[in-house]
Structure 1
Amino acid sequence: MKLSKVAQKLSPSLTLAITAKSKQMKQQGLNIISFGAGEPDFNTPKNIQDAAVEAIRSGKTKYTPASGIIELKKAIFKKFLEDNELNYEENQIIVSTGAKQCLSNIFQAILNPGDEVLIPVPYWVSYPELIKLYYGIPVFVDCNEENSYKYDIKALESKVTANTKAIIINSPNNPTGTIYTYEELVEIAKFAEKHNLFIISDEIYEKLIYGDYKHISIAKVSEDAYHRTIVVNGVSKSYAMTGWRIGYAAGNKELISLMSNIQSHTTSNPTSISQYAALEALNGSQDMLNSMLVEFSARRDLMVEKLSDIKDITFIKPEGAFYVMVNIETFIGKYVDGKVITGSMDFSDALLSKELVAVIPGIAFGLDNYIRLSYAISKENIQEGIQRIKNFVEEIK
């Protein structure tokens, strides 16, 4: 029997081997320090847990409308209005099983075979695979280090074609932690208007911003941008609710209607209990979020301080999210234990074997001369892990 050609063309995880090796070593009792976490290491706040328990006890365990309960949509409406100065109606909002399903719904709803979607390099690993799954073509736009790996209009113009359907923007960005300014968003919005593109704005790390930086949704910069943008967000990162699987999107009502229809025939409604938990996350106390942000900021500063002491590496100081991209270009072509380092996979594998430190190879995001470190771990592990990395690079010849 023949299997799906589209599914077979999906790229396997480039980090799978290192992740599996790390877990195996942990099971053997080795003291592995992992910088791979893509989720907060805090537990879900108690008020949110309590709301979920109450939902179970009060019988809110049945099917809900496929696109989400009205109470949660109203809370999302309020959040967009207060946080982003964006005004949406109920029929412009969909609640899904995580932000990833929102993205999946979007690509199913807008793509026809051969349609192209512009993706910045580096990128979140699932963007290109979701596009390919729905017969689209991911088009990678190389961004430069001097501009913190954000879009450059000249680079965008060199990649756009008659087949380009959409552009993805991710701010704050995973993996770099960089944030687009208002002026930069205006330029991208004008580019999208010029070429009549959908704008897919992934804003899942919106609440995790440090210092004086501010998140601005591209949907806010102009009336045209508002109508062509689909904003994707969720509660996973901001409220330590990754396992609850609640994301949401807002945009053009015709597109949201199509996404809702798609969802009704695939997963149907997101878990009812998780929806009531998300309702409390958005409407309830924000104290835990604020405390988590203070802790992440302190961890970021600690990681930056410790990385600055390592010779021959550079890094991108994050403005948001909880990742640091570390440039290891100096070590490519050199040897460790007689083996040449050809890229981020070799570097990461050798680091795990010699120093028991797990990192994410940059090749997973399209940048083979980088590794990604998450600071969603304790300060003690950050200090110990960075020291081990320092010991490792000092041995590279």
Structure 2
Amino acid sequence: MSSARISRRISAIAESATLAVDAKAKALKAAGRPVIGFGAGEPDFPTPDYIVQAAIEAASQPKYHRYSPAGGLPELKQAIADKTFRDSGYKATAAQVLVTNGGKQAVYNTFATLLDPGDEVIVPTPFWTTYPEAIRLGGGVPVEVFAGPEQGYLVTVEQLEAALTERTKILLFVSPSNPTGAVYSPEQVKEIGQWAASKGLWVVTDEIYEHLTYDGVPFTSIATAAPELGDKVVILNGVAKTYAMTGWRVGWMIGPADVIKAATNLQSHATSNVSNIPQMAALAAVSGPLTAVDEMKVAFDRRRKAIVAGLNAIDGVDCPTPKGAFYVYADVRALLGKEFPSANGPVRPATSAELATLILDEVEVAVVPGEAFGPSGYLRLSYALGDEDLATGVARLQDFLGKAK
């Protein structure tokens, strides 16, 4: 008889590092500390008024006080299919859409539906912290393929080929990337998609940052760039980043009808339908204009340039300019092992996790260490925060990291 209180499956999962950093920063702020949080990927803008209004109107209608189909309101599923064709040229029917409780449930549903124990998933690294945990929960094995700043954090077909085994079932593809902000060119997307198709792999593509690219760099959906993939592609997306709706918790997955039917069955037992009120808000969002994200992008672009310039002014920090999302991924390997002053005397952080802790303790700036996303030696900073906070936070980093000996 097992005496373990917590199952091995759940015990093996790591806490979301990004949410942990954000929670610690918010707790310190609540205690009156002047913490600047670069941790969570969350736009600092309010949800647009017309979306909020749609939710208010829905809340007053008794039909939305009841259960609705587990897979999503039919009108929202159709609107998501229409929006996907509008934005990426990928044709899907409403039957190929499952509305989920945020993007994370779409990630979990997908891997739980596609993976059998021991199946391998190639995960370009640095990766968003939730991917490998969702893969493991689904019984799969994440296989990391690391691309450093020297190659713009972009993996190559040669690297993917080297990671391929007879157990490989899925390639995870994310562009624009969280945590690096890297964006694959249309040519690279096509090449990778054709490679995956030639190996008979599924591709799971997370497109939640599709509208956040800069410097004229286009977003390219691997589902349309490589039609050779046929029906072995699943698209993950949601309203959180495009419409500043992180707290509304509406995401979706788009895939072949049999996969969506199976994932809907899973969700019917796990959570049933997403709350109807946020679903109606999401309907207003995906059916409406992209004005809100265009306005946010102006601010994000300004902050992107400011944070890259500010971090690159620090000796020992190399911060490539991201082409998408709202993160920078700074290479701080040159600072590890250096001596920094602290309240308890000189300290030599050996890892980026130790450096991030030191930064929070000494100058009250919250950043997420590379260990959350792959190898040590990097810091992720979100620039989806106010201009004033960004400037203050970068100034504190310049002052503190500049003291390295």
State the TM-score bracket (shorter-chain normalisation).
Answer: over 0.9
- Contact 2:17–2:368 (8 Å) recurs in 1: no
| CA 357–174 in structure 1, closer or farther in 2 if over 3 Å, else same | same
Which residue does the alignment assign to 1:386? Answer: 394
Cα separation, 1, equivalents of 2:278 and 2:188: 36
- Contact 1:47–1:284 (8 Å) recurs in 2: no
Judge which range, 139-148 or 71-80, deviates more: 139-148
List alignment gaps of at least 5 residues for structure 1: none
- Contact 1:220–1:226 (8 Å) recurs in 2: no
| Percent of pairs with identical residues | 39
- Contact 2:22–2:40 (8 Å) recurs in 1: no
Cα separation, 2, equivalents of 1:248 and 1:73: 9
Cα separation, 1, equivalents of 2:24 and 2:381: 17
Please list the CA deviations of residues 47-94 of structure 1 after superposition, one character each: whole Å capped at 9, or x if unmatched: 011000100112222111111111111211111111111111121111
Which residue does the alignment assign to 2:374? Answer: 366
1:196-207 alignment runs, 5 A limit: 196-207=200-211
Which residue does the alignment assign to 1:316? Answer: 320
Amino acid at match of 2:238: G
1:186-205 alignment runs, 5 A limit: 186-205=190-209
| CA 37–19 in structure 1, closer or farther in 2 if over 3 Å, else same | closer
**Aligned-pair distance for 1:24?**
4.2
Which residue does the alignment assign to 2:134? Answer: 130
Which residue does the alignment assign to 1:4? Answer: 7
Aligned: 1:78 with 2:86: no
**Aligned-pair distance for 1:271?**
0.8
**Aligned-pair distance for 1:12?**
3.3
Query: Which residue, out of 212, 215, 220, partners 2:219?
Result: 215
Which residue does the alignment assign to 1:224? Answer: 228
Query: Which residue, out of 373, 384, 398, partners 1:376?
Result: 384
Which residue does the alignment assign to 1:100? Answer: 104
Cα separation, 2, equivalents of 1:211 and 1:145: 19
Which residue does the alignment assign to 2:120? Answer: 116
1:259-298 alignment runs, 5 A limit: 259-298=263-302
**Aligned-pair distance for 1:208?**
1.3
Query: Which residue, out of 50, 53, 67, partners 2:53?
Result: 50
- Contact 1:25–1:32 (8 Å) recurs in 2: yes
Cα separation, 2, equivalents of 1:18 and 1:221: 36
1:141-152 alignment runs, 5 A limit: 141-152=145-156
| CA 229–203 in structure 1, closer or farther in 2 if over 3 Å, else same | same
Query: Which residue, out of 153, 160, 166, partners 1:156?
Result: 160
List alignment gaps of at least 5 residues for structure 2: none
Which residue does the alignment assign to 1:351? Answer: 359
- What TM-score do you get using the length of structure 1 for normalisation? 0.96
| CA 21–286 in structure 1, closer or farther in 2 if over 3 Å, else same | closer
Cα separation, 2, equivalents of 1:16 and 1:90: 33
**Aligned-pair distance for 1:190?**
2.1
Please list the CA deviations of residues 280-302 of structure 1 after superposition, one character each: whole Å capped at 9, or x if unmatched: 01112432222111111111122
- Contact 2:18–2:39 (8 Å) recurs in 1: no
**Aligned-pair distance for 1:27?**
3.2
Please list the CA deviations of residues 108-147 of structure 1 after superposition, one character each: whole Å capped at 9, or x if unmatched: 1111111111101100001111111121111111223222
Which residue does the alignment assign to 2:36? Answer: 33
| CA 186–69 in structure 1, closer or farther in 2 if over 3 Å, else same | same
- Contact 2:327–2:381 (8 Å) recurs in 1: yes
Please list the CA deviations of residues 262-292 of structure 1 after superposition, one character each: whole Å capped at 9, or x if unmatched: 1112111111111100000111243222211
Cα separation, 2, equivalents of 1:45 and 1:97: 20
Please list the CA deviations of residues 289-319 of structure 1 after superposition, one character each: whole Å capped at 9, or x if unmatched: 2211111111112212222322231112111
Q: Secondary structure at the match of 1:339?
A: coil
Cα separation, 1, equivalents of 2:276 and 2:17: 34
Cα separation, 2, equivalents of 1:8 and 1:17: 17
Aligned: 1:335 with 2:339: yes
**Aligned-pair distance for 1:239?**
0.5
Q: How many residues align structurally? A: 397
- Contact 1:302–1:379 (8 Å) recurs in 2: no
**Aligned-pair distance for 1:25?**
3.1
Amino acid at match of 1:260: T
- What TM-score do you get using the length of structure 2 for normalisation? 0.94
Q: Secondary structure at the match of 2:231?
A: helix
| CA 186–17 in structure 1, closer or farther in 2 if over 3 Å, else same | closer
